[in-house]
Each structure stands twice: as structure tokens, then as C-alpha cells.
Structure 1
Amino acid sequence: MPSPTTEEELSGIIAGAEGPFRILGGGTRPIGRPVQGTPLSVAGLSGITLYEPGALTMVVRAGTPLDQIEAALWAENQRLPFEPMDHRPLLGTSGTPTIGGVIAGNISGPRRVQAGAARDYMLGVRFVDGAGRILKNGGRVMKNVTGYDLVKLMTGSWGTLGVMTEVSLKVLPRPGAAATLSLTGLDDATAVRAMAAALGSPFDVSGVAHDPAAGETLIRVEGFATSVAYRAGRLSELLAPFGAANVSDDVEGVRARWREIRDVQTMAGQPGDVWRLSVKPSDAPGIVARAGAEQVLYDWGGGLVWLRLAEGTDLRARLGAFGGHATLIRASAETRAAIAPFHPDPAPVAALSEGLRKRFDPKEVLNPRLML
């Protein structure tokens, strides 16, 4: 398996390609159509090349393990704001997640409702396209660019347009305190209304989730201790019509609970396929009722819904027309070959995507058909 250690070496490998490649970082996210091709690892392109805590910026090679990045940030009381999910528990994979895989999938966790997605913190990118060309875009500060915004384009492209070699990121301070408010016994529709009330408040909520199996609706606040205590108290008053809220301000306990939500750990090791729905929150309960899922978890105030269904279930066919996107995250290779894992794009968007693939991967050697 080719595992280049320099950008130039990677460029030469791709330029001389005689067949397709299956791009790998840590190998922890086998999502999308199964790719038939030679494994090409970027794990050798590793290391933090620049970290300026005072400027809230970090430049890091794409194959760098995520835990190495988080350890460096932790030492400076900083963090990746978008709280990337670790797919290993849900998918049953091993290995080590890399920053390149996180950015390639635009992997964002519960804090997205407050902080935004991984894409929003990308400052610059370097990558090798399907012709072997070394391309770069952006830098170490937020700025507008002309032509293709390759920074945004590469984020969420799943290695189909280029193999990332380096990314520049904006980071943020890590809060010292956190609290979770828990409401119990709410049905899905009522829980969505409660979460909407919390998100619509001025109290800077950083997480809103509903776990029907546990009978819990959870709201998270983070920041300075005095601010967290004040906001938790005001949210308790605001949410009183939905029931009495239990408040937990044990920081480690709060972090552990939201890691469970972030990584959908309640579905780990459980039988069946797992789908990820992106929908309008107010539509979510009705769509979930039609889905007939064996297990459900709401995140992002209901804008993100995880569903566990029987193996081989085509959720899109079961739901029919609905406003949103359904992505098949966990299933056998056979199911992922038979059912498109990524939601089909409307014809104009599909045509644009195909044009971009031809522009950046003319030989069709980079994760071909993974997103189709």
C-alpha cells in the first residue's frame, strides 16, 4: 500500500496512476459506496507544522492523528470548536482518526448549533488533485478568494476531488465550566419544541439533544463558571412549562455524556443499519414516525436525527418525498453497493458536481463513485 511521506511523493504516485485509489487516513470511516482500488494512505503525512495559540491558528498535515492535535490544543486551553465525531464506536472500526478524514467528511458534532461546522473553521488547504497537481488555497487568516473557493470545496468532498496534504484551521479557547439541563418524559414533538425554546433564547446554548430511549431531553451550556450557573438557572425558568429540569454541572460528567451523544454510542454494537437524517427540526418527529426505526437519537435540536433500522432497509424509499437528506452511515458493503449512501443531488447540483469531478479528477482515480 503506497504511504507517501511528502507532498511531492504523493504527487508522483497519483500522476503515475494506472488505476483507481482508495484514499485512507486512519481507516476509521468506511462511509459511502465501497471503493475498488489500491489503498493509498496519507498517514505518513503527519505532524503539526505551525501552532500559534495567541493567533488561534494551527497548520497541520492531513495524516496527523486527531488525538495528537487535541492534546496540543488542550495544553493551551483551546479546542477544535466543531467537536468532531469519533465514528469508531458506531462503525466498529479501529485505527486512529486523522484531521484529513475529519475535514474530508466535514465531521461536526453537537456544538454545531452554536459554533458551526468544520467547514467554517478552515483557513487554508493544500492537496494533490487527480492529475497529480499540487494545489493550495487560503492561508492562516480568514479572507475572501477569487475563483474556486477550494478551502470550502475540499471540506466534505470525501477525497473525491483531491488528496489533502495540509490544512490550516482556526481554533477557539476551551471553556472552563459546563452544565447540562435534563428534562424527562417528553414525547418527540414536545422535546423538539423545548429544544427550539432553548436555542431561541439568549443564553448561548452549545448542545441540544433528545434521546427517546432514555427519556431525556438535554441542553448544554458552556463558558465561565458564573456565566454557566446564571444561564442554567435562566434556562430552567424558561423550560419550566416542559417540566422541572435537573442541572448537572460536573464538567467531566457533562463531557462524557455529550461524547456519548456526539458518537451515537447508544447504537454502537446494536444490530441493523444506521442512517443520518438532516431535516427541518419541526418536521423531524413526523418523519421519524414514518421511518419505523428501532432506535432514534435527535441532535442539533432535531435538525440531525440518527435512526437504526433493520439491515438492508431503504429509508428513502420508505419515507417517500420529504424535505431533507438521508445518508446511510453504517451498513454492510453489499447494502452500501445496492443503496446510494449519500442522498442523490437534484439534477442541476449533480451536473455541477460531475463537472467539478472531471475538472479535479480527470482520470477518475480518487475514490471513484464513493459519493454516487
Structure 2
Amino acid sequence: MIVNNVQLVLENEVVHGSLEIDEGVIRSYSDSASQLPDALDGEGGWLLPGLIELHTDNLDKFFMPRPNVDWPSHSAMSSHDALMVASGITTVLDAIAVGDVRDGGHRLDNLTKMIEAIRASQQRGLNRVEHRLHLRCELPHDSTLPLFEQLMHLDELSLVSLMDHSPGQRQYASREKYREYYQGKYRLDDRQMAQFEEEQLTLAARWSQPNRQAIAAHCRTAGIALASHDDATAEHVEESHQIGSVIAEFPTTEAAARRSRELGLQVLMGAPNIVRGGSHSGNVAAHSLAELGLLDVLSSDYYPASLLDAAFRIAADERNGYDIPRAAALVTANPARALGLTDRGIIAEGRRADLVLAHAPHGHAQVRHVWSQGRRVW
């Protein structure tokens, strides 16, 4: 198959030409048009490597579309997969919460169902793109380590992140922001919220550090990529580096992002942060890190379509030095490199033919076609 008349987004340049796919890989590409009559006309659109998503909890929404509504696993997984395809994402790490910030939380209830849905659909070839597993380990919880030890040997596991959402630190250094979020989420009155805060502080004091050290040790032994989460200070980052983290997810301050870069961690920020123009939690804005050259990876987090949109917005922003290839790398080559996925993430001969054809009328990126291992899936 040949895709013709496209702007090929290569590692360091954009070339107008054509690309040939054969047996699931990129066979060749050229800076000239193909003369074959059955070549697909890309109509001058951007042809990028398939997007790589390292952290999305989008699957949660399909398993429980409304409070207390459980949706059948096969339908939830199929709908989630379809949204990934429509967003141009060809490799997705579905983030599943291990441990929970509140007993009885639906994420903990759905843990086994979601993991089994990911594994079964992938093994049976039902998904249109490749789904892998990201375990989000909520550290201040007594069940976190035992659950992780049950799941750490799964073949689909590609990334583990260490999270502590207890009040007064990291993402919720502002206790006011913490109360605002959790009171709204769980519909707690002031008395219930005060009790909830005290419970979380008690759990964090007992479990956060032992769980952090134990899970990190397991990851080092098993060779599983490890990510920090919401580091706020240089000390947080230094601890994350010491225990083996290779990705810094959503650092909350410029200082934490800068120290992460100095220690060799890939700085990951939310694409919704770019699209919305700032953090909904009041933390450092992703575009500020881009302007400082401290941004390596974007994640769609809770809104899949934001990934491609954010990359094009960064490329169009004259305040930073990201051209189209460098901005595209935030959602392709860099996340692939962070996970050691050497078969994808760039347009090059012999790489997987995971590709996205996008047009950007009026400056807004739109996905036209998606290929997963050479098969057109959108």
C-alpha cells in the first residue's frame, strides 16, 4: 500500500512525498510523489507516526459511565478502543488504579474486570490498536503492595507509577484545592471531609514510604519502567531518581521539572493542560515548561483527543522552539524511547507501520486515517 501526497513528519524534518507499507512495516518513503494509480491520496495532510499514550484512565469511564452503573466488559473495552483509534493513538497504556483513595471506590472494584478486558481483547486480536498495562499504585493504602505483587508478572505490564494523593503535598500541596476536589467528587459535607482528610493523612504516614520502596525494588528487579507522579520539589525528584524512575509524570512545579531533566527523567505533562492553557489543579502550566525546553512527553490523561491537538498547538506557539517534528516527538518518539519500544515512534524503514494521517483546517488537527501495523483501522 502507498500513501501519496502527504507531509511526512520525520524525526528532524518535514518532507512532502509518499510512503510505502508492506507486511505491517514501513518499507520505504520518498520525497517525491508515487505514480501508481491505486496509491491513496493524502491530500497534502500530515502523516505522523501513530501516537503513543502512556497514561490514560479513559477506560474507567466506559466501565462505569454513570455512578453505580456497571457496563459489560466487552462493550466497555470496544468503545474505549474505538475512541483511542479516533484520536490517532496506536499504542495505549491503560492506567489502572491499584489501591484507592477511598474504600469502596469503583476503581478498586473494577480492577480485575478492567485488566482481564485489556488482556483478553488484546490476546484475541479484538482491538484495533495495541493496548498495554500501566499500574497506577496509590501508595497510602494497605492493599496496594499485595495487589501489585499479584499483577507485576503480567506480560502486558509496561509501566508502573507511584502516586500519593494525600492532602498537603505534591498535587495537593494546597489543602484548599484538595478539599475542593474531593468534596465535589465524593459529595462530602465539611464534617465528613475533615474526617476523610485525617484518614488519608494517617494512611499516608503508615504506608506511603514502605510501599514506595518495595514496589520500586520489584520494578528494578523485573525491569519494569517506573514513573514518579506529581513531584513538587527537588527532593521529591531526587528520591524518584534514586529508586529508579525514568519518567516524571506531571511534576507540579518548574523546579521539579528542571531537576527531573537534570537527572535524566523524561518530563511528562498533560495534553489537556496545553489545550486548556493551564493546570486544573493550579500547578505549573505545561506550556510554561515547553517555553523553557523542559517538556519531553505529553499524555492525554482524561481526554484522548487532546493528544494530537496539543502537539499541533505547541508547534504553532511562537513562544517556544518546538517545530512540527519536535512537537510530534512529544507524542511519538519520546514516549516510545522512554519505554524502550524501538520498533515504533518514528517514520523510518523497517519500523512498524503505525501511522496517523491528519489535516489541520483552520489550525485544528483532525484525524482522517489511522494504520495499525499496516492495517487501516480508521
- Same-fold status (TM-score > 0.5): no
State the TM-score, normalized to the length of structure 1: 0.31
